[in-house]
Amino acid sequence: MEWWKDVLIYQIYPRSFQDSNGDGIGDIPGIISRLDHLQELGVDAIWLSPVYKSPNADNGYDISDYREINPEYGTMEDMEELIDQAGRRGIRILMDLVINHTSTEHYWFKESRDKTSPYADYYYWSPGGADGALPNNWTGFFGEDCWEFDPQRCEYYLHLFARSQADLNYHNPAVLEEIKDILRFWLDKGVAGFRCDVINILWKDSLESSKKRLALTGSEHYLSLEGTHDILRQLREIWDEYGAFTVGESVFVTPQRARDLCGKDRRELDLVFSFEHMECDQYFLKWFKRKFRPKIFFDCLVKWQKELDWNAIYLENHDQPRSIPRFGSEKFWKESGKLLATLVLTLRGTPFLYQGQEIGMTNFDFTRMRQLNDVESKNVDKVLRRFHVPQKLRWKLIAKTSRDNARTPFQWEGGEGAGFTSARPWLGINHNCAAINLADQEGDEDSIWSWYKDLSALRREREVLRQGEFVPLEAGRQVFAYRRELGEERLTVALNFSDDPAQVSLDGQLLRSNYRRERFEGILQPWEAVILE
Ligand code: ISL
Ligand code: CA
């Protein structure tokens, strides 16, 4: 059995986890100081969002040096210390591998501005049309044009994300060699693997214009192409040498595309994050939210459980709003927080938790655009402004969906600074930290935190929860129920995604209920989660 099928993985967004030196910014020594917390939760591996040197246009997803640590986060010694200290606790470190693009501050890019430099072809450059027209009609992920003119080279460069994130040109074999060196550099330091950022768009087959789409015009020239699979097969050789684990973030992924990446016969990556279940409360684009319908969500989860042998199970990350207000209920905050915990920790696959999820953190309570930091939110605001969308409506769309919802500092304590910092935090702390914080939940057996710890321990104890087959029982308008089966062992999970009670006909002895009841007689209370043996 591969080790990564047996573990619980926890994502840290370093900027918002723990500040150790009073500058309002989370850092690596801060993470080290909180390793006990992770150990208590039963975390086996940390996915660390980028800590490399970066001008932070996209908070580290714009890397200017892959072999340096961002000084705001600490030093290389701190990073080595983290790998070491985590290792002593049996916790592995996974780095974020962002290789679709680099920051325009990276020296490769600076050199690339000179057509005679050996780095000239490290990026996609194009002179554009005769009349100053852009090289093609593609559109980017962050709602802007994806070409930027560089006055020094007098050409445009491609950037599918922010304008300071230039796409690397893998048609130049030297680029892949650079990446291989970087992988070895980190694997030699003892990291256990990588979360691979937007990994299915590395290869662009041509720069031709294409059919206009509502979003991502041009994507047929880079989505999940054979060139990308070829690159991954080459990287796989290095990963295999070190026994490294890889989980890919792949955009617009279908079950087939996922199997093409991590099917047993292909094994280009070990796992992929799918997005379909995160899109069931939207029309086409994430900015256009629609009412959350549990049935659509359940059907989607069942579909992926069936289509793939092994899924990456998650409900939150640094790009998504928090899960309780989204899939749960703020009115039944505690109950629904525990119910979502039950879902994540009892589906078949490798569970990923995102920092703050274990205490039920909610979305930001900002009221103005000015309080936001996220480059994507800012760009989208600009675009909407260009279309004369009134301010109120702009804010409504952005507030619900902004990535900053998940990026506010971790709420360790109730007081000012929330135990996160003694200074002014880089991004506002939610005022509900007086009510939602770890310190309070630690002393409370009935807290969301205690429930996460309990279920994580149960999962560790019961092989059926880790390895068992998934058998769907009910995916209705309210209730999601399924069984996990391994040999003679059977556990049934029933979840009521509703403010109203629900009746189910399931039998078995009650093992857990988030209502702490003694017996279960077939009625699920609002947002009740039960596990039956
Ligand atoms: O935010 C999104 C989904 O809600 C996506 O459009 C997201 O931008 C996409 O999934 C890619 O995300 C990754 O690469 C980006 C970075 O900004 C994100 O934080 C990262 O997770 C560019 O590196
Ligand atoms: Ca700091």
Give a three-class secondary structure readout of 151-205: CCCCEEEECCCCCCEEEECCCCHHHHHHHHHHHHHHHHCCCCEEEECCHHHCCCC
Ligand 1: which of 160, 195, 319 to mutate, judged by most atoms within 8 Å of the beta carbon? Answer: 319
Ligand 1 centre and the CA of 520: distance in Å?
42
Ligand 1 nearest-atom number relative to CA 320? 4
According to DSSP, the β-strands at 45-48 and 92-97 are parallel
98 ligand 1 Cβ < 6 A: yes
Compute the distance between CA of residue 533 and CA of residue 528 in angstroms, rounded to an integer.
Answer: 16
Residues 410 and 18 sit within 8 Å (Cβ to Cβ): yes
Distances in whole angstroms, Cα of residue 491 to Cα of each of 136, 349, 414, 471, 480: 54, 16, 37, 10, 14
Residue among 94, 95, 197, 322 whose CB has most ligand 1 atoms within 8 A, to mutate: 197
* Distance between CA atoms of residues 287 and 419, nearest Å: 33
Ligand 1 in contact with 286 (CB < 6 A)? yes
pLDDT value of residue 131: 85
pLDDT tens, per residue, the chain with 533 residues: 899 999 999 999 999 999 999 999 999 999 999 999 999 999 999 999 999 999 999 999 999 999 999 999 999 999 999 999 999 999 999 999 999 999 999 999 999 999 999 999 999 999 998 888 999 999 999 978 899 999 999 999 999 999 999 999 999 999 999 999 999 999 999 999 999 999 999 999 999 999 999 889 999 999 999 999 999 999 999 999 999 999 999 999 999 999 999 999 999 999 999 999 999 999 988 999 999 999 999 999 999 999 999 999 999 999 999 999 999 999 999 999 999 999 999 999 999 999 999 999 999 999 999 999 999 999 999 999 999 999 999 999 999 999 999 999 999 999 999 999 999 999 999 999 999 999 999 999 999 999 999 999 999 999 999 999 999 999 999 999 999 999 999 999 999 999 999 999 998 999 999 999 999 999 999 999 999 99
Q: Which of 58, 96, 178, 249 is catalytic?
A: 249
Amino acid, res. 363:
N
Whose Cα sits closest to atom 3 in ligand 1? Answer: 319
- Pure H helices in 6-164: 28-33, 35-41, 76-88, 107-112
Residue 242: burial class (beta carbons within 10 Å; 0-12, 13-18, 19+): middle
205 is catalytic: no
Note the pLDDT of residue 176.
98
Mutation test residue for ligand 1: of 61, 100, 201, the one with most atoms within 8 Å of CB: 61
Angle separating helix axes 173-188 and 226-242, nearest 10 degrees: 30
Q: Is the Cα torsion angle 416, 419, 422, 426 positive or negative in sign?
A: negative
Q: Is the four-CA dihedral 230, 231, 234, 235 of positive or negative sign?
A: negative
Clarify whether 270 is annotated catalytic: no
Q: What is the C-alpha to C-alpha distance for residues 227 and 224, in angstroms, rounded to an integer?
A: 8
Ligand lying closest to the C-alpha of residue 164: 1
Q: What are phi and psi of 12, to 5 degrees?
A: -110, 130
Tokens standing for residue 510? 């009650």
Closest residue by CA, ligand 1 atom 20: 197
Residue 22 and residue 423 in contact, taking contact as beta carbons nearer than 8 Å: yes
**Given the structure tokens 């993470």, which residue do they identify?**
31
Cβ(197) to ligand 1 under 6 A?
yes
Ligand 2 mean position, distance from CA 467 (Å): 40
The pLDDT, as a whole number, for residue 284 is: 85
Query: What does the block give as tokens for 352?
Result: 């990923």
Instruction: For residue 441, give Cα distances in angstroms to 212, 266, 414, 437, 516.
Output: 51, 44, 11, 7, 16
pTM beyond 0.95: the answer is yes
- Nearest-CA residue for ligand 1 atom 6 is 141
- CA of 410 relative to ligand 2 center, distance in Å: 13
